Homo-oligomer: A and B are copies of this chain.
Amino acid sequence: MSELADSKTRTDLLNRLKRAEGQLRGIQRMIEEGQSCMDIATQMAAVRKALDSTYVRMTVCFMQQELSHRLASARADAGPEAQIESVLEDVQELLGKIR
Q: Which residues of A contact B (CB under 8 A)?
A: 1-4, 10, 13-14, 17-18, 20-21, 24-25, 27-28, 31-32, 34-42, 44-45, 47-48, 51-52, 54-55, 58-59, 62, 90, 93-94, 97-98
Contact A93 B31 (CB under 8 A): no
Assess whether A98 is in contact with B37, with CB atoms less than 8 Å apart: no
Residues in B whose Cβ lies below 8 Å from that of A94: 37-38, 41
Contact in complex: B90, A2 (CB < 8 Å): no
Q: Are A35 and B97 neighbours in the complex by a CB distance under 8 Å? A: no
Q: A45-B98, A48-B98 are in contact. List 13 more A-B contacts (CB 8 A).
A: A1-B38, A3-B37, A4-B31, A4-B37, A10-B31, A10-B32, A20-B24, A21-B25, A24-B24, A38-B94, A41-B94, A42-B97, A48-B55
